[in-house]
Amino acid sequence: MNKFFRRGIFPPLLFTFIILLFPDTSVTHSQHNSCTMVKINILSKHLRLLKENKTAELKFNFPARTVIRYDDSEFFTNSLKIQYSDGIYSIFCENRSLNFKKCVIYSHDNNALCRIKIDDAYRLYPLPLEITRQMGALKIFVHETPAQYAVDSASAELGYTPPEKTEALFALALAINGRCRIDSLKKKHPDSDFCDLTCCQTYKGRSGLNPVSGPYINTSAIAYGLFFHTSSGGRLFTESVFNSGKRKIKPPADILYAENLMLSRNLHKNWSASIRGDELSSIICSGKNMQVHGIDYNPANEIIYLRTNIGITDIAPEEFRLKVNRKKGWNFIKSNNYSVSFNNSEFNFTGSGLGHCTGISLDGALQLADRGYSRYEILEHYYPDLKYLQNGKADRSYQYVTYNIHNGNIKSASTGASLLERRIPCGSLFKLFTVIYLASERPDLFFNYTYNCSAENPHPLPDHCWDRKGHGPTDIRSAIYNSCNIYFASLYNEINKDQFTKWFNRFVKSRGISMRLPETKNNKEWSELLAGLNFSTDISVRDIMALTMYIHNPDNAISSDASAVISGALKKTFTEGTAKPAKNRTDTLIEPAAISPEIWGKTGTVIAGTNSHHSYGLFTGGSNDTGIIVILRKGKGTDAAHLALSLMNKQIPEKL
């Protein structure tokens, strides 16, 4: 043993070191949470199982030169074993019995981890460990940064998450990270911020994932408790489900409008439970001279009325569910999404879902992630109107991908592989199909057709362009970089719909693009389709890549002269068109000097969303050998183009 530790020569230094390891968790810190720590009570269930003689021992293994300190003693240790016998917990370090009220086990190495085998699998916990023993009770604590704890807890809640669904995991991690900064959701225990059981957030130590990063939820003005559960069964509840004050606001719908799909129906789609009336009365009315004769429950009101022998009383749905489940089993009444009937002296519950049904449905989040939605869109699906902060400034939700424009190989992306399957209304990007058709099938129109885009336009054209003043006399060049709705809509009378449809179907098949044209019933709908104003026409990110790659390198169907017109017009998007920085805007992401002469692309603005509709800015284009696609939530095409340029110039940090 090291003689300096044995003689206690360094106590002041060690005391200072331990203070540094355990900062004051009551200090309010920045959104980055890099210094603030959360304290987690771990292995409480397994200590109970030890006490109940259902497991033999708990044994920690430590890295070399780990130090254990208690009272005035300090020594190196490689392991620690906990046993229970004769009504007390016994702790041993390499056959040395320890007797203390509190000990700290730490390492001088940064990011040191200890290991313990639980249920035939090893868990890794960060050092230091803090162990307390008081009045026969033993508790073990670790400290983590909220960003690391959030991703590890999310991983424990979801279990194995396939790569294409990891955005659901990070959405949950961001919600848990937010919960770490909401005082009312912490300190559920008097001596820690969270435990490792489901009542707080499940936690099984380090998951191997990096800390959650990117913009964090701004909790300073949040109206949500950031609750989450397993599956809503298709119906979400507000936080009124936790009290008996009735529903005050309408919860979000757990629906994906684009597919007319009710989410959160994969897990526990249908369940039922029955309980005798006298047994229910003994549970709900314990200690009271009351019998429950009937239950009136309308989930839309989020309150339960009990008809009893002494009158009607109300109870919060989650309180009712937990009271019953504490006696009948934690998943007896699986969720708050149910109907109840009374027959043959029994109350019969029929429902779907699992959990309290407030906040994120993990089942629905996984479905959204599988369809390419980002962690921020998943969050806003369940918590509408969230705000985000990064580096102390407001930030917005976006997705992007950069790729080799010659072969389609991905260079970088904001999210995983499922992003390529993300579908969104095509909007003004559809104009590129019209341009390709004109260039390949109707060069007479491509080179010679002009139209006057004015403030007022005749039927069946739109009343006005996106620029209400109009663009004036417009040819194909200015129509492309100005994204002129009126010019493209006016082609309805010049392009034969059947011929265009046949060409379109051949073209998308040849490029591997999964799209179909919607039916147009009249000239107005036909003109809107050509102008990219039919938002029922959707496209995937993968398809946008294929379209953009063709624009960059078309086949022989398009002449070199037509190709030069298209590429020149797309470059003018930033200098004369829809992505030109406005002089009177102070929130633009770029300066004119930052515009590379090689950058080109097409903007679009669409209305989209999951269960609510928002404006989305779209951009597709490239520079040199790099293509880029940006989808910006609650933005416009101009903003998406500026963001794309900033990403290409690496003026802002990339998201993981």
Q: What is the pLDDT of residues 155-176, one digit of tens each?
A: 999 999 998 899 999 999 999 9
Average pLDDT, integer, range 122-150: 94
Average pLDDT, the chain: 88
Q: Among 120, 108, 601, which residue's Cα sits nearest to residue 400? A: 601
Average pLDDT, integer, range 65-70: 93
In our burial notation (b when 16+ CB lie closer than 10 A, e otherwise), range 12-50 reads eebeebeeeebeebeeeeebbbeebbbbbbbbbebbeeb
Confidence of residue 594 (pLDDT cuts 50, 70, 90): low
Write the single-letter amino acid at 137.
A
Per-residue confidence (pLDDT) for residue 583, from 0 to 100:
66
Give CA separation, 582 vs 480, 484, 575, in Å: 19, 18, 11
Per-residue confidence (pLDDT) for residue 19, from 0 to 100:
34
- Assess whether pLDDT exceeds 60 at residue 479: yes
Per-residue confidence (pLDDT) for residue 602, from 0 to 100:
98
Instruction: Give the end-to-end CA distance of the chain in Å, rounded to a whole number.
Output: 46
- Give the residues across from 216 on adjacent strands: 389
* pLDDT tens digits, one per residue of 497-542: 999 999 999 999 999 999 999 999 999 999 999 999 998 899 999 9
Top pLDDT among 288 and 33 is at 288
Do 306 and 313 meet the contact criterion of CB atoms below 8 Å apart?
yes
Per-residue confidence (pLDDT) for residue 47, from 0 to 100:
94
* DSSP per-residue letters across 479-524: HHHTT-HHHHHGGGGTS-HHHHHHHHHHHHHHHT----PPP--SHH
Other Cβ atoms closer than 10 A to 112: 17
Do 501 and 507 meet the contact criterion of CB atoms below 8 Å apart?
no
* pLDDT tens digits, one per residue of 76-105: 999 999 999 988 999 999 888 998 999 999
d(CA 131, CA 142): 9
Per-residue confidence (pLDDT) for residue 15, from 0 to 100:
36
Top pLDDT among 20 and 545 is at 545
Give the residue range(s) of CATH 3.40.710.10 domains in the chain. 396-648
* pLDDT tens digits, one per residue of 290-320: 889 999 999 999 999 999 988 999 999 999 9
Top pLDDT among 487 and 111 is at 487
117 token code pair: 């085998």
d(CA 262, CA 260): 7
d(CA 520, CA 498): 11
Q: Among 65, 152, 49, which residue's Cα sits nearest to residue 114? A: 65
Whose tokens are 């039927």? That residue is 459
Please state whether beta strands 38-42 and 194-195 pair in parallel, antiparallel, or not at all (unpaired): parallel
Per-residue confidence (pLDDT) for residue 12, from 0 to 100:
37
Whose tokens are 């400034």? That residue is 393
Average pLDDT, integer, range 235-248: 89
Give CA separation, 544 vs 257, 416, 433, in Å: 22, 17, 11
Per-residue confidence (pLDDT) for residue 139, from 0 to 100:
95
Per-residue confidence (pLDDT) for residue 584, from 0 to 100:
59
Per-residue confidence (pLDDT) for residue 591, from 0 to 100:
53
Q: Which residues of 11-87 form beta strands (DSSP E)?
A: 38-42, 58-70, 73-85
- Assess whether pLDDT exceeds 80 at residue 8: no
DSSP, res 164: G
Per-residue confidence (pLDDT) for residue 223, from 0 to 100:
82
* pLDDT tens digits, one per residue of 186-215: 777 788 999 988 777 899 999 999 999 888
* pLDDT tens digits, one per residue of 418-427: 899 999 999 9
Do 617 and 640 meet the contact criterion of CB atoms below 8 Å apart?
yes
* pLDDT tens digits, one per residue of 350-402: 999 999 999 999 999 999 999 999 999 999 999 998 888 887 777 778 999 99
CATH architecture group of domain 396-648: 3-Layer(aba) Sandwich (3.40)
Cα dihedral 140→145→151→153 (10° resolution) = 20
Per-residue confidence (pLDDT) for residue 653, from 0 to 100:
42
- Assess whether pLDDT exceeds 70 at residue 28: no
DSSP, res 585: -
222 token code pair: 């949040």
HSE value, Cβ hemisphere, 13 Å, CA-based, for 572: 16
- Assess whether pLDDT exceeds 50 at residue 457: yes
Per-residue confidence (pLDDT) for residue 393, from 0 to 100:
73
Top pLDDT among 6 and 642 is at 642
Per-residue confidence (pLDDT) for residue 654, from 0 to 100:
42
Q: Among 588, 656, 578, 650, which residue's Cα sits nearest to residue 620? A: 578
